[in-house]
Structures are given as structure tokens and as C-alpha cells.
A and B are shown apart, each in its own frame.
Chain A
Amino acid sequence: MSPAVEDYWRVVNAFAARMEEELGDDLLSIILTGSMGRNQVVPGKSDLLDAAVVLRRGTLEDRERHERSLRVIVDSCQLAASSGLPFGHPCFYWEEGELADQDGLFMLGTVSPRSSRLLAGVDIRPEMSPGADAEAAASCLFFALSQRFMYPLSVFLDVPELPESQQATFFQRLVDMSKGLPLLVCAALGSTAEEALAPGKVRQILPDVDFGVLDEILAIRRGERPLPGMEGLRSLLRRALELGERIQDEILVSGTSPWRDLLASPPEAPA
């Protein structure tokens, strides 16, 4: 039987209850992020445990408290993983003292009430802030996405046919890229936005760029359109690569990108 959204909540609530019971005062907070935090679970596809666990200040200093906390987290994650729901990774965890030095993009999704929700303990979201240079570093991630994830996919343009399982993997790579791209483009142009708002914001910033291919990929993922065959997948990839090239050009002519501060001699915008 395919899972329902309620199954996700049952498992996540059991995870939180166990953490609260076993960790006691050392647990400060649990915040849900990802699709559960945004209330956009796609049952059977969304990852189960996008959760940020925050431990009380000093827990990481003390060897005994640290080990006890890790053992409780590991056991609780095992319980969640045994539910059979998609379990990509265990939870994230932080210590209280680290909240004011956060990863620029992750923080946006974690602090926003639209993209996260308090699952247990104290609401620590107002205390989270980006660390030094975090926004400038986040503005470089679009370049990394291109080099490390998009360009290597180009080899599929020459592949005439793939077994169904590999087509699914190929499509998943397109989905990952489509989910992250608006967020990273906004950051690269100095206009950071949380994941839920980034697709709209990127269209405002770059009104002449056609982002339709991303919508098509995500509609297929939601099951609103059938998964295309190999030719259709290649066509989506080609359009995504062309979109990436267009965006690179837009970023280069933008004078407001935070990554410019990280270079001793920033490039001049091309004529």
C-alpha cells in the first residue's frame, strides 16, 4: 500500500517523542524543514527526516553528554528508517552556540515559518543568523551547480537509449537540479530567497528568461505529466543546459552579485 502524508507525521512525531524522552534537558529544539516543513509532502517520494535537532550549549564539549546524545539520535533515526518511508539521510544536528553562524541558504529555509515548523522544544529560529561571508559564499553555488551537476549530465545527450531504472535516475538528477536552481540563481544575483519563494522571485529578477523547463520537470515529478521516454528526457536536459548558459550570462552582467567581494579583481561586465 502506498504511504500517505499521515504516515510521515506519525513517524516524525514518534521520532520527536523519543528524542525528548531520552535527551531530556540536552535537547533544545527540533525544527522540521524540507517538504514536511513546507507542508508539501509528496508521499512515497519526499524525504522523511529533514529535521534540524539543536542540542543545549555545552553538549558537544562534554564527551559523555555528546556520546549519549549521538546514541539517542542514532537510535531515533533507526526507528524512523525502519518505517519504510523514504529515508535519504539522518537528521542534521547543531549545538545552541552554533546558531549565529549558519550556512546562508540552509538558514533561510530553516528560519522561515513558511518553510519550517517547530516539532519539539524551544523555537530557536529567531536566533539563527548567517555567519560571516555566508551570503557571499552562497552566491557562488550556482557556478558549482553548473560545473559539478549540470555539465556532467550532458553526456546523456549522446546516449540513444537507457534501461528504465537508469532513465529514472537520470530524471531524478533533473529534478534535483530544477529544485535547487531558482534558489541558487537568486543568491548569485544578490537577492536571496527561501526555497518556497525562489521560483517566483527568480522570474521577477530575470523577466526575459524562460524558466518553463523547470516547471515541466517538476510537474512530471508530481505525477501531473507522464515520465517521457529517452528522447523527451534528452530534450528537457538540452533546454536545462541552455537555460544554465543564459543564466551564466545574466549573472556576469549583474553588478550586484555578492561573489564579486570575494575576488581581488572582479571581472568586468562584458559589453
Chain B
Amino acid sequence: MAAELYPSEVQIPQRIAERVASLVQEVRESLESVVYYEHPLTGCGLLLVVPDRATQPFPDLLARIYRAAPRVTLHCLRPRELFQLALPGYDAPALSVDDQPHLAYCVKLRSALLHGRDCRAEVPLPARPAVFLREHLRGCQRYFRPHYLKLLFERQYRNVVMETVREARRTMSIALVGDGGWQVDLAEVPERYTARFGGARTSAVWRRLEALEECREAAPEAVEDAAYEACWLLERFLKLLASEALEDPPP
């Protein structure tokens, strides 16, 4: 199992290690396990496992944990709730980055145990990883569109371009859930996506979108045009990606 290979490769930032040490000191009796994981979309996070039957009221335990924990994505679960790590979450692109895609893989395979018993074997993997991509694409329609509309009416044209490029990268990463995407950081995602799905039209749209980032130095009118073009390219890109990754994926 790859999990056995990873602990030596996962680097735990000093500030997180220190905060986890004080967290353990604060709630040792109520903390069964702490797992640090790396994640391609959010950088990193912590799984905190509390007992099925805690010795104090649950709200008080949560308050102690959230006060002492490091400021990273936290998943605080009881052992019987660990299955939640393999389910879709609240995927609202632009409002926040959801780490549920890849999460079960990262906790199992790209992680290190920091405290207590090793519960990683109890975390299931998703039965249908494509669900994450479907939800993300619906999330892009419902949340990312109003987001870029808002940026457009606030005339934040440069941000429109940067965020559409970032969103396209995240979507490619989510298309790779179930295909080893958990180990591919965002910088390398386009290459891995092309190697897996290989759509020439999708690649051409991606390259055009990525090239718009050059507009940072352009005159204001050119940046405005680039922002509107970026929105159109993102829509084209998402449609092409859906067709090759969901409807007709290569074997």
C-alpha cells in the first residue's frame, strides 16, 4: 500500500506540527487520532478523530478543538463517520475551495499520522469518482458564473482572467479523481490531464485561456476584452472537458 511509502515523504510544516502538539496537550483524552495530509487543491489539512462516545458534551469538545487547532482545513469526525471523507462536499467554486475531491485518497495515501491510532485503513474510497466532477461542473454553473459576473461589474478584469485560469486547472484536477489526481499538484495538472484524456480541442482552448494571463501588462481596454474572452473560453473548456472526461472517457 502506498500509504506505507508516504510518511517519510510528507513534509509537515513546523507551525502545524507545533499547533498540533499543543492541540494534543489540550484535548489528549478526547483525541483518538490526528492525521496530516497534503492536498492538491488546498495544500494540506488535518483529520481529527474524536471518540464515538466523548467524555464531555460534544459542543464543548468542538470548541476546545477548534480553538487550539492550526488554521488549516479540518475534518473532525467520530470513527463511525470516517466514510464522510469519501463523499462529495459543498462544491461552490469561487466561494471556497472544497477539498472533498481527492480527500479520501489524500488521507489514505498522502498523509502522516501525528497522534494516536492509525485509522487510515478505515477510510473508504469513493465508489464513483466521476460524481465529484459532475458536481464540480454544476457548481461552476451555479457559483462560478455569478462570481465572474460580480468581478466583471466591479471591473476587476485582471482577477477574472487569473481566476478563470485557476478554475480550469482545478477542474482538470477533479477530472483526475480516481486516476491518481491526488498526487498531482496544480502546476502539473494540464500535462497529466492531456496525457489521460488527450482532447486536442480542449488542449487548444486551455492554451488560449492560459495565454490570456499575459494580459497583466496590457492596456485597460485590452484587459477588459481579455476578461470577457476568458469567461467564454472557460465555458467552452468546461463543456469540452465534460464531454471527454464524463461522456466518452478513454479506457
Contact = CB atoms under 8 A, between A and B. Distances in A.
Contacts of A89: 146, 150
A267 B78 CA distance: 13
B58 interface: yes
B92 to A, nearest CB: 10
Nearest to A52: B142
A100 to B, nearest CB: 12
Contacts of A122: none
Contacts of A9: none
A158 interface: yes
A78 interface: yes
The residue among A67, A143, A245, A265 with the most chain B CB atoms within 10 A of its own CB is: A143
B149 A70 contact: yes
A263 B90 contact: no
Interface string B56-77: 0111101101110000001111
Given A144-B89, A154-B63, A262-B128, A101 B138 contact: yes
B126 A262 contact: yes
B229 A259 contact: no
A161 B145 CA distance: 39
B154 to A, nearest CB: 9
Contacts of A248: 81
Contacts of B81: 143, 248, 252
Interface string B125-138: 11110010011001
A207 interface: no
Interface residues of A, number: 58
A16 interface: no
A137 B135 CA distance: 7
Contacts of A259: 87
A134 to B, nearest CB: 7
B207 interface: no
B197 interface: no
The residue among B87, B96, B131 with the most chain A CB atoms within 10 A of its own CB is: B87
> Do most interface residues of chain B lie in helix, strand or loop, or is the interface mixed?
helix
Interface string A103-118: 1001000000000000
Interface string B72-100: 00111100110110111110000010101
Interface stretch (A38-46, A145-153, A193-201, A220-228): A145-153
A160 interface: no
Nearest to A103: B138
A73 B231 CA distance: 13
A155 B231 CA distance: 39
A250 interface: no
Contacts of B63: 154-155, 157-158
A170 interface: no
Contacts of B58: 241-242, 245
**Interface size bucket, B side?**
35 or more
Interface string A64-79: 0011001101100110
Contact of A154 (B66, B87, B141, B232): B66
Interface stretch (A22-30, A90-98, A171-179, A209-217): A90-98
Nearest to B132: A137
A242 B88 contact: no
B96 to A, nearest CB: 8
Contacts of A81: 153
A141 interface: yes
Given A154-B62, A158-B67, A143 B131 contact: no
A237 B83 CA distance: 26
A118 B89 CA distance: 31
A41 to B, nearest CB: 20
The residue among A77, A81, A262, A265 with the most chain B CB atoms within 10 A of its own CB is: A262
A71 B87 contact: no
B124 interface: yes
Contacts of A73: 149
Contacts of B86: 262-263
29 contacts: A60-B232, A60-B236, A67-B229, A70-B228, A71-B228, A74-B153, A81-B153, A89-B146, A90-B149, A90-B150, A90-B153, A92-B145, A93-B145, A93-B146, A103-B138, A132-B134, A134-B134, A136-B131, A140-B87, A143-B89, A145-B90, A154-B65, A155-B63, A241-B58, A242-B57, A242-B58, A242-B59, A264-B125, A265-B124
Interface of A: 60-61, 63, 66-67, 70-71, 73-74, 77-78, 81, 89-94, 98, 101-103, 106, 131-134, 136-137, 140-141, 143-145, 147-148, 151-152, 154-155, 157-158, 237-238, 241-242, 245, 248, 252, 259, 261-267, 270
Closest 3 CB pairs of A and B: A154-B62, A144-B90, A241-B59
